[in-house]
Amino acid sequence: MKNQEKEILDVAFLAGNILLESGAEIFRVEETVERIARAYGIEEYHSFVLTNGIFATYANAQGEIFAKVKNIPVSNARLNKVAAVNQLSREIERHKYPVEEVKKRLIAIRQMEGKKKLTQIIASGLGAGCFCYLFGGTFGDAFSAFLTGMVLYCYVLYVSCYQSKIIANMSGAALVAVVSILLFQMFPQLHLSNVIIGAIMPLLPGVTFTNGIRDIADGDYLSGTVRLLDALLVAVCIAAGVGAVIIAYHNWLGGIML
């Protein structure tokens, strides 16, 4: 295999890798990888993408076969990277960049900074507060959800990122319930349920759920099922975390429900 061909495959594969780990649908990953390969004149390129891995093979004119397999662990949604890779693949189709330059740009995209942690924490609080209000909370409830949402995201960014998914979601939801109950103890006019509902919003598996549905709609049943199962698991963990704290509050501390 010529060096140039190998380079093209690596670049296409890297693009797929970034897309998959940043929360793109399976269909987009397969399409982008094949599109980049085709833009450089490689027709016999086939990829098979799952939620946590890419399998790609390529056969050149001499009949030599090249294959690459990589496990790609699922991480958080980084939609800026999805947008950037998508933009790059469009540009490649229009004006053929040299492969080296594409590689450089992909590596730059991979290292792209996300939003600052403080910004994310404030956004989490704001989202929690707004949705608490939408689900019927008062302004007081919304403000409590704002505070709880910020506490939650500090926990998510600094502590629970080192834990397994199950424990991270259960403990995060439990933390939300504990903080909400503390606020409720201080200000009894709050509606405890509304505060909790708003503040658990940042934990909800919206990305996984939406992508799972889209994968199934595209016919990628295997990946879609895995993602929906993942979303269900997260939802159950959140319910368990909140539920455990409510049981403790109700039974052992004699708290008044609602």
Choose between 56 and 177: whose C-beta lies nearer to other proteins.
177
Residue entry with tokens 């909400």:
180
Coil, strand or helix at 205 = coil
Residue indicated by tokens 């929690």: 128
How many positions of this chain bind other proteins (CB under 8 A)? 60
Shortest CB 30 distance to other proteins, Å: 14
Q: Is 233 in the site for other proteins (CB under 8 A)?
A: no
Q: CA 130 → CA 17, 25, 66, 143, 195, distances in Å?
A: 34, 28, 51, 9, 11
Piece in contact with other proteins (CB under 8 A), picked from 4-12, 56-64, 66-74, 245-253: 245-253
Answer for which of 115, 161, 221, 222 binds other proteins (CB under 8 A) is 115
- Residue 138 as a binder of other proteins (CB under 8 A): the answer is no
* CA 176/CA 125 separation, integer angstroms: 12
| Sole window of 63-71, 99-107, 134-142, 164-172 interacting with other proteins (rule: CB under 8 A) | 134-142
Of 59 and 248, the one with the shorter C-beta distance to other proteins is 248
Residue 253 CB, nearest distance to other proteins (Å)? 14
Q: Is 147 left (phi over 0), alpha (psi -120 to 50) or beta?
A: alpha
Binds other proteins by CB under 8 A, chosen from 65, 69, 83, 108? 83
Q: Which is nearer to other proteins, 42 or 123 (CB)?
A: 123
**Beta-bridge mates of residue 48:** 55
Instruction: State the Cα–Cα distance between residues 211 and 72, nearest whole angstrom.
Output: 16
Cα separation, 17 vs 20, in Å, equals 5
CB burial string 52-65: b at 16+ within 10 A, e below:
eebebebeeeeeee
Considering only 38-46, 100-108, 162-170, 234-242, which stretch makes contact with other proteins by CB under 8 A? 234-242
Of 172-201, binders to other proteins (CB under 8 A) are 193, 196-197, 200-201
Shortest Cβ 146–other proteins spacing (Å):
10
Of 15, 19, 28, which Cα lies nearest the Cα of 217? Answer: 28
Q: Are 201 and 125 spatial neighbours (Cβ–Cβ below 8 Å)?
A: no
What is the C-alpha to C-alpha distance for residues 135 and 210, in angstroms, rounded to an integer?
21
Q: Write down the least CB distance from residue 242 to other proteins, Å.
A: 6
Binding-site member from 18, 56, 72, 82 for other proteins (CB under 8 A)? 82
- Beta carbon nearer to other proteins, 66 or 209: 209
The kind and range of the H/E element at 45 are strand 45-50
CB of 4 to other proteins, least distance (A): 29
